[in-house]
Every structure is written in structure tokens, then in C-alpha cells.
Chain A
Amino acid sequence: MSTNFKELNLNLDIGPVTRIEGHLEFKLGIDDGIVKDARASAALFRGFEIMLKGRQPMDALGFVPRICGVCPTPHSIA
């Protein structure tokens, strides 16, 4: 199911969102005090999937913790 973003009335824009890890933006559609639509976008792409292609599995252990500096260990375990 595709969404036509132009038809959505997104009238509140929160970006950049602070006090989180990484880059995040919200767009909210508020009508009479009620949130009707909400869209979130992660505003950073680094391409770890592309970097890891063709590398040794052990070397991935050096890469994936760097996906997030707050929670590196779960990424290594995954």
C-alpha cells in the first residue's frame, strides 16, 4: 500500500530531534489538537550493509558496533 504524502496535511515539523542517538525528524499532522498523521524519518544514511559486503565475518565485529555508540554491544551480538 503506498501513501501519497502530498495528500497528508503534515503541519508540525520537528527536526532535528535532540536528546537521542542519531538523526531523527518527525512530521505530524495535527487537526484540532488531535494527531491525525505521523511520519518519522531517520535523516542519516551511512550504508553499513554496503560496506560489509565481501568482508570476512570476523571483521564485521569491528564494523557493526560503530552503528551506535550508545548501544554497540547488541549490534556485535546480532
Chain B
Amino acid sequence: MIKKGGSKMANLIWLQGATDNGCSISFLNCQQPVINNLGVNIAFHPTINPTSGKEAIASLKPYIDGQEPLDVLILEGAISQGPDGTGEYCFFGERPLKDILLEFSRIANYTVAVGTCASFGGMAAADPNPTDATGLQFHRAEKGGFLGKDYKSKAGFPVINIPGCPAHSDWIIQTLAAVLLGKGASIKLDEYHRPLMFYGVLSHHGCPKNEYFEYKQGAKNFTDEGCLFHELGCKGPLTYSDCNSRLWNRQSTKSMAGSPCMGCTNPDFPESSIPFFETPKIAGIPKRLPIGVPKARYIAMAGAAKLACPPRLKPNQEV
């Protein structure tokens, strides 16, 4: 897997900013395809690199000097710009990570942001954003971020965002596969630069609690039967991701395990998802309604759905 250049293998450098390594762990869990089949030379990855310290930094030099092409640059974690624009909240060796990142972003054929932090700032940029953290090409939902809204990698692509906290291993490895097989141009991105093949449906899609949602039967407490959207803060109908149709570890998801979706692929995560475990309401109607459903229609639909609810779906009933 880790093989030094010279061959025709594509070179990949993975850097970590303000991150918790969750996306790396998720990436190492990849199954379809497994990384060995991709023919990629992972020139540097902080979590699995055999060398440390000066040797590790020296191994990056051929790429900076242009002796070796850098095919893919992956950033995991937000870019800390503070304090006062120095970037000293996050070091890589003896230099702030943001300076090193800027050098690599200029020579990379493709630049990929893995995780919500690298894409949009994410958890690291939560209010009051103590470290002045930002994403690669977005700051939360706003275009710009660290590299600026006009940034294009050498292959002419903007930063490809793979948000998620963590990002699903399929999302990372399949995007990578497309890029490495020269099909980068076929990746269709949405307005937040997320590949539509993974972020084209709602997390709600495929949720096993959908029938409860359909008839507006909300669970009042955790472990109760019923949909988690109505009372317990599930963001499934507000979040683009294919979690419930793809499954995690090929077997489960948050909502299957009885925990609400946290909406972690949203550009404003975590602020847009707070409160995590409660649904804010106005006059009994959730403040944030499923994407694309106007309030009046939701009310009409909810009333009719409740009336039509078959007895077998009524949760919390005495048995």
C-alpha cells in the first residue's frame, strides 16, 4: 500500500488540520473497493505513516519541489487560522499547518476535503469559533473559506467536499476511485460541492422508521416506538446523505439504532442541528420542516395522516 514513487501509481497526500481522526478511521474501514486495489501510493498519512518528525517532512519535499506529481491532496479537519491569522493553533512539524496546506493546494491535481470540518469548518468552527477555523472552500454555507471561492486544483476542479462526521468510507473511497481512474470530470457536484451520487437523497430515505413518519407517529422518549423527527430532534428529513440506503458498516445507521440523525453533512453543522435531541416547535409544528415541504401543506398532510394511522403503528400505547 505504502510504496515510494517511481512507478505509475498515483500519489496521494493526506493532511490533518483541526480534526479528531474520525474520518481517517472511517477511511481505513473502506471495503468497496479496498484501497489496495486502487493502485495508489499514499505518500503521507499522519495516522499510518511509518516515519515521524524530520524524516516525514523530508518525504514531502519531492512533491513541493515538483520532482513528483501530486495527484490527490486530501485534507481532513478544519484549517485553524487563529490566533490573529497566524495559524498557530495547529502545527505540522515546525510550521503552522495552514502554510503547508497552501503550498500543496497549488500543486495538487485534485483537492478533496474529507469530513465536515475540512469541507465547511464543522465542529471546529462551532460558535464562537475560538480558533478562527474554516473549511477549504466554504466557511459554513458560504463560499470562500481558506482557499477562496475561485480556487481550482490543477485538473481544473474546485475542492470536492465529502462532508460527514465522520464521512462514510464509501463516500471517500469511491470519490477517490473516480478521480484516480481519470473519471474526475464525471463527478457531479451540488451547490456545496458534494458529489450528488452520495448526497443526492435525504438521510430520511430508507429509514426503517419511515412508516411512523408517514402517519406522524412520533416517539416521545428514546426507546419508544415511533419516528424520531417529531419530538427527538432527528434531522433525517433535513439532511442530504445516503446513510439509510447505504448503511454504516454494511448493517446499521443512527436512526436504525434508535438515535436521531444529527444532520452532520449539512454545511452549518453543528449549529444548524442544535438542539441535537429535541425538535423545536411553534404551535405544535416543527420549526424546520422536511426539505421542500411548505408549512401549509405539511399541516394539511399531517392532519390527514394522523387520522389515517392504522392502530398497529400507534406508539406508546398500553399493551
Contact = CB atoms under 8 A, between A and B. Distances in A.
Interface of A: 13-23, 25, 43-47, 50-51, 55-56, 58-59, 61-63, 66-70, 72
Nearest to B124: A46
Contacts of B130: 46-47, 50-51
B275 A56 contact: yes
A78 to B, nearest CB: 15
A16 B277 contact: no
List the 9 closest pairs (A to B, CB-CB), nearest first.
Answer: A69-B22, A47-B130, A43-B91, A69-B20, A18-B49, A14-B53, A62-B276, A50-B130, A69-B21
15 contacts: A13-B54, A16-B53, A18-B52, A22-B20, A25-B91, A44-B80, A44-B91, A45-B90, A45-B131, A46-B18, A46-B133, A47-B131, A58-B278, A62-B274, A69-B24
Contacts of B56: 16, 18
A18 B57 CA distance: 11
B89 interface: yes
A51 B141 CA distance: 19
Nearest to A20: B47
A49 to B, nearest CB: 9
A65 to B, nearest CB: 8
Helix, strand, loop or mixed for chain B's interface? loop
Interface in B269-300: 270, 273-278
Interface of B: 16, 18-26, 46-54, 56-57, 80, 89-94, 123-124, 126-128, 130-131, 133, 165-166, 262, 270, 273-278
B89 A63 contact: no
A58 B275 contact: yes
Contacts of B270: 62-63
Given A18-B46, A45-B80, A69-B21, A61 B90 contact: no
